[in-house]
Amino acid sequence: MTWLLAALGGGVGALLRFVLSGVEARVFAGRERPNDARGTLISNLVACFVVGLAIGGLAAPDAEAWRALMIVGFCGGLSTYSSFALELWDMIGERRWARVVGISALNIVCGTLLLWAGYALIA
């Protein structure tokens, strides 16, 4: 049953990532280059915050099913390292070094801070 919860959460997370990327593309249409990694950044940061909330609120040993649903499933489907890496690859090919460093730092530093903030909010 736990695997089914992980699959359900993953589907919902992936769908939300798809929607967030579409909204981001419409908001920034015509203003900057396409595929500028903002949609992936937003998805990754939201997932980090939700993981923080989940580890803060789902620490009990009997919460395994909820952790599978929220952390492995939902946050796993919402966040995406492979898209992040592909977007970096494209920016490196275009020699957009400042953007490569900036997006990398935002994903790593802000993601970690948001995970901590989510945890601190619940724990």
Please state, as a whole number, how many other Cβ atoms lie within 10 Å of the Cβ of residue 79.
Answer: 22
The pLDDT value recorded for residue 32 is: 60
Q: What secondary structure letter does DSSP report for 58?
A: -
Q: Does residue 79 have a known ligand-binding role?
A: yes
Q: Is 43 annotated as a binding residue?
A: no
Residue 87 identity (one-letter amino acid) = E
**pLDDT tens for each residue of 13-65:** 999 999 988 888 888 776 666 567 888 999 999 999 999 999 988 777 778 88
